[in-house]
Amino acid sequence: MAGCKPQSEPAGSGKKIKIAIDPITRIEGHLKAEVEVKGGVVVDAKIYGGMYRGFEQILTGRDPRDAPQITQRICGVCPTAHAQASSLALDDAFGVKVTDNGRIARNLILGANFLQSHILHFYHLAALDYVNGPDVAPFIPRYENNDVRLDKATNAVGVNQYLEALEMRKICHEMVALLGGKMPHVQGVVVGGATEIPTAKILNEYAKRFKVIKKFVEEKYLPLVYLLAGPYGDLLKCGVGHKNCIAFGVFPLDAAGNTLLKAGAYTDGKFSSFDPDKIKEDVKHSFFKDSTTGLNPKVGKTLTDPEKSTAYSFIKSPRYDGKPHEAGPLARVWITNPALSKAGQAVFGTNAKVRDIGDAAFSILGRHVARAEETLVVANAVEQWLQEAKPGKETLVPAEIPKSAEGLGLSEAPRGALLHYVDIKNSVISNYQITSATIWNANPRDDKGIRGPMEEALVGVPVPDPKNPVNVGRLIRSFDP
């Protein structure tokens, strides 16, 4: 068994064994994990980000209004999050105030993408760590001992839901496209608001689809995640990490900037309000010029150095208040602390909230629970926005490109905190900086040598069988990189 509590010590357990997994699959992008195992447990870990495209360099010199289109191509799973953060940065730089209907249209676009992304992540990226697919490609080959512990009937439920979820996520994309034009990569989110004024017909089509999704989340997704806690209960006890959280806030509820999921930080057991000036990005272990280390994104530079000998990743190491922080659904719901779903309250008690999960939230399975719970929080809010949207009312305000201005866009992608910063000079982009979700989680050691959040969370994860390091992939995927 390759679970969190090894039944027996493997042979040669006194020696350190190095295991590399490359590629880590069922993620978005390219990652490699390298772990050192001693006594059946990970004692050190490195996460390598193996791909670089250079969006920040490509954006330089362009018409600022192109940024929401270009930056969406960072991630095909969560493009609308980049559209949102980029448009917020431009709204700030252009000095425009988005209308209520524009804000709501953007929320309905991003909200449907959150629902799609969380469903896709759990079922199509993560579930094969816990459920055996049919015995055909791409579900085989798999690890010889893949530690899937479900009985035949439960496994069949998992496979059926995997297939049903394919349809669910497609329906979520239709919801996005109704207001966004198409998905992936929407046209509808721009500086000044949203381009598609919702009609009664569009809202009706959206609502019809949404009903199906909400039912699936309540009746299938949440119960299945909690059901895994039975056979995989030990996975609620490993993968803790630094236990620091960062959230920038997402889904604006009013013009004042209050958000559904709140901005904040949780550092060494203490909650604090979020201050973007406390972000610094280290690059000692990243393939970027050493002269650019320790900068806040507002003065950030992106200059690659692919041959740098101290580096092992194309990911920078952002730190908040000097410390690594994890981002994502767990960070958001830990900071916002909403009430749990019915399925959650059945486990943690009537009126229980997210923080009542306690330490178990900071674990492999805890991150899945947090994501599923957040899906319902977003679904409930979508229901509200559908009521608030005003058919036929303007969603876009005119916006002129400023000659010289800067703008900051703070939002959240389904997988975590997202920052876009734009500096405009001579009416074109002179600097653009992005600190995205996976950069927060999958970063390498910082200049002080402190491991990134995912690296730290790997420490202590049991790998009783080095030939089948199942829990390494499980841990990494729990962050949804």
Show contacts with another protein in window 251-290 (CB under 8 A).
287
Pick left, alpha or beta for residue 310 (phi over 0 → left; psi -120 to 50 → alpha; otherwise beta): alpha
CA 439 – CA 433 distance, rounded (Å): 12
Rounded to a whole number of angstroms, the minimum distance from the CB of residue 426 to another protein is 14
Site string for another protein, 137-156 (x = CB under 8 A): xxxxxxx-------------
Pick left, alpha or beta for residue 239 (phi over 0 → left; psi -120 to 50 → alpha; otherwise beta): left
E strands in 243-289: 245-252, 259-267, 270-272, 279-282
By CB under 8 A, residue 366 contacts another protein: no
CA 214 – CA 257 distance, rounded (Å): 27
64, 429 contact by CB (below 8 A):
yes
**Residues 385-444 interacting with another protein (rule: CB under 8 A):** 394-396, 398
**Residues 195-224 interacting with another protein (rule: CB under 8 A):** 195-197, 205
Place of tokens 């989340």: 217
Helix (H, G, I), strand (E, B) or coil at 46: strand
* Among positions 48, 226, 266, 334, the unique one binding another protein when judged by CB under 8 A: 48
* Among positions 3, 111, 180, 407, the unique one binding another protein when judged by CB under 8 A: 180
Rounded to a whole number of angstroms, the minimum distance from the CB of residue 38 to another protein is 20
Cα 211-216-221 angle, rounded to 5 deg = 145
* Among positions 9, 12, 16, 23, the unique one binding another protein when judged by CB under 8 A: 23
* Among positions 125, 245, 331, 333, the unique one binding another protein when judged by CB under 8 A: 125
Q: At what angle do helices 470-478 and 364-388 cross, to 10 degrees?
A: 30
Which residue's CB is nearer to another protein, number 178 or number 246?
178
Contact range with another protein by CB under 8 A, out of 134-142, 242-250, 355-363, 456-464: 134-142
Contact range with another protein by CB under 8 A, out of 45-53, 242-250, 256-264, 436-444: 45-53
Rounded to a whole number of angstroms, the minimum distance from the CB of residue 244 to another protein is 28
Contact range with another protein by CB under 8 A, out of 176-184, 214-222, 232-240, 269-277: 176-184
- Cβ burial, residue 189 (10 Å; 0-12/13-18/19+): buried
Contact range with another protein by CB under 8 A, out of 51-59, 212-220, 356-364, 409-417: 51-59
Which of 54, 53, 26 minimizes the C-alpha distance to 433?
Answer: 54
Which residue's CB is nearer to another protein, number 180 or number 297?
180
Instruction: Provide the token pair at 397.
Output: 């305000």
Contact range with another protein by CB under 8 A, out of 131-139, 250-258, 378-386, 448-456: 131-139
Rounded to a whole number of angstroms, the minimum distance from the CB of residue 292 to another protein is 14
Rounded to a whole number of angstroms, the minimum distance from the CB of residue 313 to another protein is 11
Instruction: Provide the token pair at 59.
Output: 């954006």
Q: What are phi and psi of 62, to 5 degrees?
A: -90, 165
* Among positions 314, 320, 334, 479, the unique one binding another protein when judged by CB under 8 A: 314
* Among positions 307, 351, 387, 449, the unique one binding another protein when judged by CB under 8 A: 307
Rounded to a whole number of angstroms, the minimum distance from the CB of residue 260 to another protein is 24
Rounded to a whole number of angstroms, the minimum distance from the CB of residue 418 to another protein is 15
Contacts of 355 (CB under 8 A, 6+ apart): 334, 337, 361
Contacts of 352 (CB under 8 A, 6+ apart): 339, 340, 344, 345
Rounded to a whole number of angstroms, the minimum distance from the CB of residue 114 to another protein is 14
Which residue's CB is nearer to another protein, number 25 or number 291?
25
- Cβ burial, residue 230 (10 Å; 0-12/13-18/19+): exposed
* Among positions 2, 45, 115, 177, the unique one binding another protein when judged by CB under 8 A: 177
CA 38 – CA 454 distance, rounded (Å): 19
Which residue's CB is nearer to another protein, number 9 or number 66?
66
| Sign of the dihedral defined by the CA atoms of residues 260, 264, 265, 269, in that order | negative
Contact range with another protein by CB under 8 A, out of 35-43, 124-132, 235-243, 245-253: 124-132
Q: Partners of 417 in the beta sheet?
A: 412
CA 284 – CA 122 distance, rounded (Å): 34
Rounded to a whole number of angstroms, the minimum distance from the CB of residue 321 to another protein is 31
Residues in contact with another protein, counted by CB under 8 A, come to a total of: 87
How far from the centroid of its chain's Cα atoms is residue 106's Cα? 18
* Among positions 2, 27, 225, 442, the unique one binding another protein when judged by CB under 8 A: 27
CA 240 – CA 131 distance, rounded (Å): 23
Which residue's CB is nearer to another protein, number 275 or number 394?
394
**Residues 55-84 interacting with another protein (rule: CB under 8 A):** 55, 57-63, 65-66, 69-70, 73-77, 79
By CB under 8 A, residue 166 contacts another protein: yes
